[in-house]
Structure 1
């Protein structure tokens, strides 16, 4: 399995166990799915719930679970509420500058860096044009110049997908 980490923070962002689509202009779209989280009521074999005060009619609501994005749960994304388009644009400029420096430090070829720089404006325009549809996340560290993970839903309205910068990821095998 290959896990892709944020080149700037080291946060785990995606893995090759999910469907990864090259969306062009240096962006990847990673399909996820909604899973139910919470309200797990695990009963061990041989346990007597009534003797242990865990009757089914006591406690929380039956089936009180909430849907969560599997990618957010698996990679510990932190949801960011109220991020405006203007704030994102300012953070994106900082991110791009830091990423180019990090790419040079990491020994990436000038061709790859120039490809990223030439693709980035079109990708940013695409993201900003769809901004109101995104749920906004960052990796676990919430680093100041960390990659934003932008989540939207496919045309079917059921399949969530995350948009990430492919040049901002480094891969490692586990």
Structure 2
């Protein structure tokens, strides 16, 4: 299994259990999330409690909760939304921090294409949710989520160059 960690904070952000598609010349990875239900599940086994001398069950205290699989699996922490000024400030800082961690061709591809990816995200800014890894480190990769037109499940966007592949 492959796990992808944040090159800046070390937090686990993704794994190969969630296939991704590269967009914006490979700068962004697009991953489909799903709403899932965790917790108690009511299973109907076909028994009739009243016919078997039991009483009708009163409401079950169902401890189930709906979560987004990626958020739950990697313990992502939602952050307040960025306005345009905050987003541009974050991107300038992120680019500076990440370029220090990149080398060679990877660095050149990142420098060449990050502006286009930034514009892509800026165009969706009002629709984005913002998440960071479990440590909530100040200098980290932000994971973005949004709902495509009419979608009931969120789509997540990761900076591919900000992830380090770790074999488990």
Q: Return the TM-score normalized by structure 2.
A: 0.82
Unaligned runs of 5+ in 1: 43-55
What is residue 97 of structure 1 aligned with on the other side? 96
Give 1:123 deviation, angstroms: 0.2
1:131-155 CA distance string (max 9 Å, x none):
1111111111111121110011233
Higher Cα Rg: structure 1 or 2?
A: 2
What is residue 141 of structure 1 aligned with on the other side? 135
How many residue pairs end up in the alignment? Answer: 155
Are the aligned partners of 1:91 and 1:145 in contact in 2 as well (CA < 8 Å)?
Answer: no
Give 1:121 deviation, angstroms: 0.4
CA distance in 1, matches of 2:66, 2:120: 28
Q: Return the TM-score normalized by structure 1.
A: 0.80
The DSSP-based 3-state class of the residue aligned with 2:118 is helix
What is residue 117 of structure 1 aligned with on the other side? 111
1:30 and 2:35 matched? no
1:130 and 2:124 matched? yes
Give 1:156 deviation, angstroms: 4.2
Are the aligned partners of 2:24 and 2:116 in contact in 1 as well (CA < 8 Å)?
Answer: no
Give 1:65 deviation, angstroms: 4.1
Moved segments of 4+, more than 3 Å: 56-60
Report which stretch shifted further, 117-126 or 20-29: 20-29
What is residue 71 of structure 1 aligned with on the other side? 70
CA distance in 1, matches of 2:95, 2:36: 33
1:173 and 2:167 matched? yes
What is residue 4 of structure 1 aligned with on the other side? 4
Give 1:93 deviation, angstroms: 0.9
CA distance in 2, matches of 1:117, 1:163: 18
1:58-108 CA distance string (max 9 Å, x none):
785x4x6443211000001000124323212211111110001122xxxx3
